[in-house]
């Protein structure tokens, strides 16, 4: 019996406390941490860091050692005496090489500077991806809040309709009204049920979209929570001019910084390409020794021991190599031309990014202005519709009105309330979207 009771206790506990409440900040944090696009940008940033390390290591020397062991038969060259012998011989050869670039047309230095900018570019691209996710989440999050508020209002609307129906039914039962007077209210109740179902579905769709963005399990039971936004005046609606917002955005927007970094990358590509016109200077050091089983000491038939040969045959060399480019099928020249074209393209992309930013700021500013005007109009409309409904209810209670008048007023009020809620959240989104361009973090 106890296991059964424990099972039902745990089941009821999950039912009561299993649903997890998410704030907008938590949703953003979850989405950024789990989004695949962000993960891909993390990999790109890691690759850029490895490229930077490689550019730093390019300044170091090349050090190589080699070992050769050979058993030869028949006529072969003895590398210790450089004479041909007609017998089998075992030989060992050892070499050590040290090579250091002394000058390479500043290509390595410019490549290092380019790699540092490549890391910055990768991080900026990641930031752009994260910011786009935040905007996407803000839209989905507000859509859920809006649907929840619309659902709450629809439920209240149905309760009011049900009260009028009950009152009308009492009047019919007392013989003051005809039986067909109830039909309009029944139709209104059905309309209220449709609205409730629609808003419930909108909530489910919005939560499903949030789970997809945050990469949560489709079966996870979540809900959203946010501070009350009933007092819309708490939201800052003092709009700066378009140029003021644009100038602020121009200083900190990641897409502008990314375009400028890409432009600088093109400049270093050009410097690297031009650096290949210059000669290169390389320092080399080599150490060499060998051993042969057939090496015989002069004036003796004794073979020289292994380590004695190893020591006596040691040789060294030092050298400087000057490599002067004369003609390489115009590869360097074409590389410079390509770098020039790419640099010009990057400059145009920077100008385009600034133009796109101004267009987006203009659109966001216009939408914010329109949202404010729509919200003020929706407030006036809702107030008038509410007074009309109260008047219809009062007339109906006094026996001076009709159910038709009540239904019309009730429908108008439901529409006005729904539009007001929609206008309010549209207002919030557009204000937050404009603040986003001013560098203000997205939060409720």
pLDDT band at 7 (very low <50, low <70, confident <90, very high): very low
Residues 236, 338, single domain; the answer is yes
In a domain, 4, yes or no: no
Q: Report whether 24 contacts 443 (CB < 8 A).
A: yes
Q: Are residues 95 and 183 in the same domain?
A: no
Provide the pLDDT for residue 254. Answer: 92
Residues 383 and 369 in one domain: yes
Co-location of 381 and 290 in the same domain: no
| Structure confidence by residue, pLDDT tens digits, 360-398 | 999 999 999 998 889 889 989 989 988 888 888 787 776
The answer as to whether 10 is a domain residue is no
* SS3 of 14-32: HHHHCCEEECHHHHHHHHH
Which carries the bigger pLDDT value, residue 389 or residue 5?
A: 389
pLDDT confidence tier of residue 239, bands split at 50, 70 and 90: confident
Say if residue 26 is in the same domain as residue 96. no
| CA–CA–CA angle 67, 68, 74 (5° rounding) | 165
**Neighbour count for residue 263 (Cβ, 10 Å):** 20
Query: In CATH, what number is assigned to the domain containing residue 219?
Result: 1.20.1600.10
C-alpha pair distances (Å), 443 with each of 32, 162, 432, 440:
15, 39, 8, 9
Question: Please, is 76 exposed, middle or buried when counting C-beta atoms within 10 Å of its C-beta (0-12, 13-18, 19+)?
Answer: middle
Domain housing 301: 66-103+284-324
Residue 80 lies in a domain: yes
Q: Is residue 147 located within the same domain as residue 248?
A: yes
Q: How many domains does the chain have?
A: 2
Last residue of a domain, one of 293, 324, 355: 324
Banded pLDDT at 225 (limits 50, 70, 90): confident
The share of the chain scoring above pLDDT 70, in percent, equals: 87
The encoded tokens of residue 417 equal 């309330």
Same domain, 113 and 200: yes
Is residue 220 assigned to a domain? yes
pLDDT at 335 over 70: yes
Residues paired with residue 92 on neighbouring β-strands, in sequence order: 69, 291
Domain boundary among 324, 352, 385: 324
Asked whether residue 8 is domain-assigned, the answer is no
Joined together, the tokens standing for residue 436 give 């986003």
Does 168 lie in the same domain as 288?
no
Question: Whole-prediction pTM value?
Answer: 0.79
In a domain, 5, yes or no: no
Q: What is the pLDDT of residue 19?
A: 64
353 and 273 part of one domain: yes
The answer to whether residues 120 and 151 belong to one domain is yes
Does 2 map to a domain?
A: no
Are 399 and 432 contained in the same domain?
Answer: yes
Average confidence score pLDDT of the chain: 85
Residue 442 located in a structural domain: no
Same domain, 155 and 248: yes
**φ and ψ at residue 68, rounded to 5 degrees:** -130, 135
């Amino acid at each position: 019996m106890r296991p059964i009771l424990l099972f039902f206790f745990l089941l009821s506990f999950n039912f009561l406390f299993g649903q997890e409440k998410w704030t907008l900040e938590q949703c953003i944090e979850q989405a950024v941490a789990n989004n695949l696009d962000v993960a891909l940008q993390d990999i790109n940033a890691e690759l850029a860091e490895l490229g930077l390390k490689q550019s730093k290591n390019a300044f170091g020397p090349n050090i190589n050692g080699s070992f050769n062991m050979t058993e030869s038969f028949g006529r072969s060259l003895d590398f210790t005496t450089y004479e041909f012998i007609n017998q089998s011989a075992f030989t060992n050869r050892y070499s050590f090489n040290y090579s250091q670039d002394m000058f390479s047309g500043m290509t390595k230095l410019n490549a290092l500077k380019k790699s540092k900018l490549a890391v910055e570019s990768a991080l900026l691209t990641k930031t752009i991806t994260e910011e786009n996710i935040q905007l996407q989440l803000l839209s989905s999050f507000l859509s859920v809040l809006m649907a929840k508020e619309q659902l709450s209002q629809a439920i209240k609307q149905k309760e009011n309709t049900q009260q009028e129906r009950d009152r009308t039914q009492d009047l019919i039962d007392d013989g003051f009204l005809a039986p067909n007077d109830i039909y309009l209210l029944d139709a209104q109740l059905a309309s209220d049920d449709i609205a409730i179902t629609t808003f419930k579905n909108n909530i489910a769709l919005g939560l499903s979209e949030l789970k997809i963005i945050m990469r949560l399990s489709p079966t996870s039971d979540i809900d959203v929570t946010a501070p009350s936004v009933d007092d819309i005046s708490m939201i800052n609606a003092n709009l700066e001019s378009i140029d003021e917002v644009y100038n602020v955005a121009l200083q900190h927007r990641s897409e502008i910084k990314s375009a400028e970094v890409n432009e600088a990358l093109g400049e270093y590509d050009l410097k690297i390409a031009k650096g290949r016109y210059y000669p290169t200077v390389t320092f080399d050091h080599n150490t060499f020794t060998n051993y042969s089983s057939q090496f015989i000491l002069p004036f003796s038939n004794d073979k020289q021991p292994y380590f004695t040969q190893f020591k006596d045959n040691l040789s060294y060399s030092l050298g400087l190599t000057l490599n002067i480019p004369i003609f390489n099928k115009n590869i360097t020249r074409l590389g410079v031309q390509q770098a020039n074209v790419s640099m010009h393209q990057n400059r145009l992309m920077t100008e385009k990014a600034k133009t796109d930013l101004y267009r987006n700021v203009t659109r966001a500013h216009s939408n914010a202005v329109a949202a404010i005007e729509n919200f003020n109009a929706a407030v006036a409309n809702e107030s008038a519709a509410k007074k009309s409904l109260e008047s219809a209810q009062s007339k109906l209670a006094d026996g001076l009105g009709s159910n038709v008048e009540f239904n019309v007023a009730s429908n108008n009020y439901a529409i006005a309330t729904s539009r007001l809620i929609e206008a309010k959240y549209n207002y919030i989104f557009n204000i937050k979207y404009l603040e986003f361009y001013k560098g203000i973090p997205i939060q409720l």
